[in-house]
Amino acid sequence: MAEKNELGMFLRASRARITPEQAGLTRYGDNRRVAGLRREELAMLAGVSSSYYTRLEQGQAGGPSAQVLNSLAAALLLNDDERAHLHTLASHNDGTLRMRAVRTAESADPALLELIDSMPDIPAMVLGRRSEVLAWNHVGHALLTPHLSFDAPQHPHSRPVLAELVFLDSALKALYVDWTAKSRAVVGDLRLAVGQYPDDTGLASLIGMLSMKSPEFARLWADNRVQARSTAVYELRHPLVGALTVTKQSLQSPGNYSQVLVTHTAPAGSTSREGLSLLHHVVPGALAPSELSASTPPPARA
């Protein structure tokens, strides 16, 4: 994946999103062939030569200094996640700070397993670097994928992959009221994973497969946006317990950087909290995928 010059693609996509006006430049006439910044304009704003920036974007320059990267990030109006991603991609140019992926299948961090076992009332799961579901508790499984086998994460070669489910599983697509926001979050997180694990062939295969099978994924992937796993509020249309509004949080494992604990909660006393409590009674695999992805959403609870 490093051979694809991820740094250059990220820089090109980022400058294409910044207009001269946003960058504080004066636009003269309407004869611009690009909507965003030209290479020479970005180079000027970042205080580097145009020739150096061109080589950097084309993957022909050595690893840029932290000062150059910070200047580019400021000129491109990058947020904190995008700035960190820029530094990660640039570190690969000189061979430093490269995080090599483990070739064997991931196993859930034992500490995270203890944690999800100790919170049976909160939907929780452990995700790996490729968004593979390494483990989940009963209510976590019942919230997102009651049509799948509960023990599916125990089989490394056929584990559920959240990114794949979001784009290719009609049941999960129907679950999210704002599926667009969820899909963008998934792609943004995968972008960060690519920067952190450029040698992960499994991650490369996942992205290639999704690009071929999902036009929506291919379009979002080409945009080169990054988005760290974070807190987000989602409205869900659950086929068994009705309408839910949940807060999703992703907590990184202190013992295994590539794994995160994902939880879904709702305020005490809310109808959504009541709905989550009903998930204890959902039997794994009770519904077929066709039933979960019916076009008519379930009625909201009173």
- Per-residue pLDDT, 299: 37
Residue written as token pair 């959403």:
297
Domain 110-292 class, CATH top level: alpha beta
pLDDT of residue 191: 87
Candidate from 7-21, 98-112, 126-140, 278-292 with smallest mean pLDDT? 278-292
User: Could you tell me how far CA 169 lies from the centroid of its own chain?
Assistant: 17
Question: CB 232: neighbour CB atoms within 10 A?
Answer: 15
pLDDT of residue 103: 52
List pLDDT tens digits, range 15-63. Answer: 888 888 888 877 665 666 777 888 888 888 888 888 888 888 888 877 7
Q: For helices 80-91 and 179-196, what crossing angle results, to 10°?
A: 30
Q: Where are the domains of the chain?
A: 2-94, 110-292
Answer yes or no: is pLDDT of 240 > 70. Answer: yes
> What is residue 12's predicted lDDT score, i.e. its pLDDT?
86
The hierarchical CATH code for the domain 2-94 is 1.10.260.40
Confidence at residue 101, expressed as pLDDT on a 0 to 100 scale = 47
53 vs 168, more confident: 168
Q: With b meaning 16 or more CB within 10 Å and e meaning fewer, what string describes 160-177?
A: bbbbbbbbebebbbbbbb
Q: How far is the C-alpha of 189 from the C-alpha of 130, rounded, in Å? A: 10
Highest mean pLDDT among 33-37, 135-139, 230-234: 135-139
Question: What's this model's pTM, rounded to 2 decimal places?
Answer: 0.71
